[in-house]
Amino acid sequence: MSDYRIETKCLHSGYTPGNGEPRQIPIYQSTTFKYDTSEEMGKLFDLESNGYFYTRLQNPTNDSVAAKIADLEGGVGAILTSSGQAATFYSLFNICEAGDHVVCSSTVYGGTFNLLGVTMKKLGIDATFVDPDAPIEELNKAFRPNTKAVFGETIANPALVVLDIEKFAKIAHDHEVPLIVDNTFATPVNCRPFEWGADIVTHSTTKYMDGHAAQVGGVIVDSGNFDWSKYGDKYHGLTRPDESYHGIVYTERFGKLAYITKATSQLMRDLGSIPSPMNCFLLNLGLESMPLRVERHCYNASKVAEYLNSHEKVAHVNYAGLPGDKYHELAKKYLPKGTCGVISFELKDGREAAVRFMDGLKLASIATHVADAKTCVLHPASHTHRQMNDEQLAEAGVSPGLIRLSVGIENVEDILADLEQALKLA
């Protein structure tokens, strides 16, 4: 499908029905698949032949949707997970083990911050959080001999910092490690991080990809570009025999698909976190209309950002699509078609005013969500980021009065009218 444009790929990639076959991706709601001989089944267990045997490892519905997303990002392969959190964890755990270290942008989503700063730490994997805007010389200081990966978000949730992907790819590659980018907010419609040097892309598919708040899911996409063999000692999980698969060496057997095959055959086998085929079907419905929705989200959010920016009660607005925003130049480079539908802003009267404003909204709902079709709002310091202390909040770009507004695809005049009446109460 590589010649088609993204709108076409969103509809057609990953599944091509044969004559008389279902036009929509069939839902293979089956845990298992039957074989005529024991030998055939055995070969599947040894990764010697391709085929389905148990849905925790692979399922045809899931694989069609994964193949579509791989094509949208321009990758060689992808694996779907049961949540974005699982995708983030697997993307790192596939190449990190106890004693290793990760360099991560400090503005990442609160769940990612916690995963790296607390939970992965318990597994012996350390993280250093860096200011994504710091100069290269400063960022270089975060690396250690045991650093295995660099992690960042194209557009950070909720600080809306735009990552300088080329800069991050350079520091990662100078230190001989891959750059992993969470591309959830931008989506491949607005940015394809592989084109700027990223090696692995992750998503919470729960957000714009699904777009209707119908399923929780994640995906990891491999560009196939990182040369694991070149740093064989460092990435020994990929370049040395895997005893749990009779000594298979992923880089030798699977070449550019080594990383994603290991994630499937080892991590999914041992840790699970597979999405249900039904959820993959729902995700695919969302993907079909993603380009249209993303365009509308960006249009509506630009109007809302302009409105808020000129409102007397608003102290400041973060939206990289807004001329004058700190990240506008980076957005023009990496996100020329638009950024996303999420805006964050602060009211002059701070936290209490934020609460009054949110409680006064009628159309927009207070929801722990972003990036679906309906406008919603959240107070990060009290909700998604409430586990952080004040210092961590500041590093993440979250001030106590910050409001995160996920602009939906309703008529923008209705959204603006709702904001207007709620701001009167703030």
In this structure, what token pair is assigned to residue 343?
């805006």
Minimum distance from residue 51 beta carbon to ligand PLP (Å): 29
- Of 236, 228, 235, the closest CA to residue 199 belongs to 228
Minimum distance from residue 203 beta carbon to ligand PLP (Å): 7
Going by DSSP bridges, is the β-strand pair 200-204/218-222 parallel, antiparallel, or unpaired?
antiparallel
Query: In sequence order, what DSSP letters do the residues of 53-104 get, joined into one string?
Result: SBTTT--HHHHHHHHHHHHHHT-SEEEEESSHHHHHHHHHHTT--TT-EEEE
With contacts defined by CB under 6 A, how many residues of the chain interact with ligand PLP? 16
Which of 73/182 has CB closer to ligand PLP?
A: 182
Burial 186-217 (b: 16+ CB within 10 A, else e): bbbbbbbbbebbbbbbbbbbbbbbbbebebbb
- Going by the DSSP 8-state scheme, the letter that residue 389 receives in this structure is -
Is 365 in a helix, a strand, or coil?
strand
In this structure, what token pair is assigned to residue 134?
């710091």
- Of 381, 407, 417, 197, the closest CA to residue 321 belongs to 407
When binding is defined by CB under 6 A, the residue of 55, 204, 265, 406 that contacts ligand PLP is 204
Q: Is 206 in the site for ligand PLP (CB under 6 A)?
A: yes
When binding is defined by CB under 6 A, the residue of 60, 74, 84, 397 that contacts ligand PLP is 84
Residues contacting residue 29 through CB under 8 Å, at least 6 positions apart: 276, 277, 278
Question: What sign for the dihedral angle of Cα 393, 399, 403, 407?
Answer: negative
Cβ(7)–Cβ(72) below 8 Å: no
Residues of span 141-200 touching ligand PLP by CB under 6 A: 153, 157, 182, 184-185
Q: Is 218 in the site for ligand PLP (CB under 6 A)?
A: yes
Residues in the chain, total: 426
Alpha-carbon distances, residue 287 vs 65, 131, 256, 346 (angstroms): 9, 33, 25, 32
When binding is defined by CB under 6 A, the residue of 27, 76, 179, 216 that contacts ligand PLP is 216
Q: Is 223 in the site for ligand PLP (CB under 6 A)?
A: no
Minimum distance from residue 114 beta carbon to ligand PLP (Å): 11
Q: Which residue is nearest to ligand PLP (CB)?
A: 84
Which of 84/338 has CB closer to ligand PLP?
A: 84
Minimum distance from residue 109 beta carbon to ligand PLP (Å): 4
From first CA to last CA, the distance across the chain in angstroms is 50
Span of 80-88, 189-197, 263-271, 405-413 interacting with ligand PLP by CB under 6 A = 80-88
At 150, which helix (H) or strand (E)?
strand 147-153
When binding is defined by CB under 6 A, the residue of 58, 59, 85, 279 that contacts ligand PLP is 85
Minimum distance from residue 406 beta carbon to ligand PLP (Å): 10
In this structure, what token pair is assigned to residue 108?
């990442």
Minimum distance from residue 251 beta carbon to ligand PLP (Å): 28
Q: Is 273 in the site for ligand PLP (CB under 6 A)?
A: no
Q: Determine phi and psi for 403, rounding to 5 degrees.
A: -115, 130
Minimum distance from residue 78 beta carbon to ligand PLP (Å): 15
Q: Is 92 in the site for ligand PLP (CB under 6 A)?
A: no
Which of 192/234 has CB closer to ligand PLP?
A: 192
Minimum distance from residue 377 beta carbon to ligand PLP (Å): 14
Which of 133/182 has CB closer to ligand PLP?
A: 182
Q: Is 63 in the site for ligand PLP (CB under 6 A)?
A: no
Q: For ligand PLP, what does the binding mask look like between residues 98 and 117, x meaning CB under 6 A?
A: -----------x-xx-----
Q: Is 83 in the site for ligand PLP (CB under 6 A)?
A: yes
Q: What is the binding site for ligand PLP (CB under 6 A)? A: 83-85, 88, 109, 111-112, 153, 157, 182, 184-185, 204, 206, 216, 218
